[in-house]
Amino acid sequence: MHDILDLDRFPLHRPNSPEWRTLVKQCRADLRAEGMFNLDGLMRPAIAAQAVKEMEDPFQSDAFLHERMHNIYFKPVEDLPPDHAALTTFQTSNKTLCADQIPGSALLRLYEWPEFAQFLAATIEMPQLYVMADPLARVNVMSYQKGQALNWHFDRSEFTTTLLLQAPDHGGGFEYRTDLRSDTDPNYDGVAKLLRGEDPTSNIITLTPGTLNVFKGKNTAHRVTPVLGDTNRVIAVFSFFEQPDVQFSESERLGFYGRAS
């Protein structure tokens, strides 16, 4: 893994060593304080750039154009009237490649490296994390060109793990509002306020290539703002769950990837 990751700064290959424990402690503190942590330059920038180059053709010919209007839940909500402000819909548009379209990539190597899941589980204080069984959803790579965006949503998994491969010239910021809801309180009024642009506690950050970003995606509302300029924003998303063998449903796969298998 030394060839693709900066393990001198981030010793993921030495679980439970004093340096590994120090790093885990720092990540836990950042998660508590900010709902997020970043490992800036975990993947070597040259490897990230090479991955982008290798995916140019598949993005041109095989990628799914994920383009739709959706609400923050990606579905109707039974407790809410359809005209409730928490169900406001927005446009998403990006191109998505799935794990089955990037065989042999550095991204899949990282995803399947057991020390990666072990490190992530320690940072989020869970006993263990498992890779998905879903052949499409395990690792996704999204490319956003000028004008494209991923709009407000919550994720399915507790935590979300991304790695930026290429930064846009402008725009393409990651905007998030930590703990907008909880597992017991959907906070529909707070959601409506955020969607009206009236939540002063939302933050926006830009990532640099090679940075690992981990945040509490299930209860953190988040979006990617429209990309500006001619350089695409390219980002990998790794999906881990607390249970083994998780798969998306057929309708989720159709919605996100335009195909079920």
Ligand X SMILES: O=C(O)CCC(=O)C(=O)O
Question: Measured from the CB atom, is 134 or 155 closer to Fe ion?
Answer: 155
Interface map 139-168 toward Fe ion (x if CB under 5 A): ----------------x-------------
8 Å CB contact between 241 and 179: no
Nearer to ligand X, 6 or 155 (CB): 155
Question: Which of 5/224 has CB closer to ligand X?
Answer: 224
66 binding ligand X? (CB under 6 A): no
CB of 216 to ligand X, least distance (A): 12
6 binds Fe ion (CB under 5 A): no
Could you tell me which stretch among 4-12, 55-63, 99-107, 155-163 binds ligand X (CB under 6 A)? 155-163
Minimum CB–partner distance for residue 256 and ligand X (Å) = 9
Of 105 and 140, which has the nearer Cβ to ligand X? 140
- Tell me how far, at minimum, the Cβ of 177 lies from ligand X, in Å: 13
> 185: which 2 tokens?
């309180």
Report the interface residues with Fe ion, using CB under 5 A: 155
Which residues here bind ligand X, judged by CB under 6 A? 142, 150, 155, 160, 162, 174, 222, 224, 235, 237
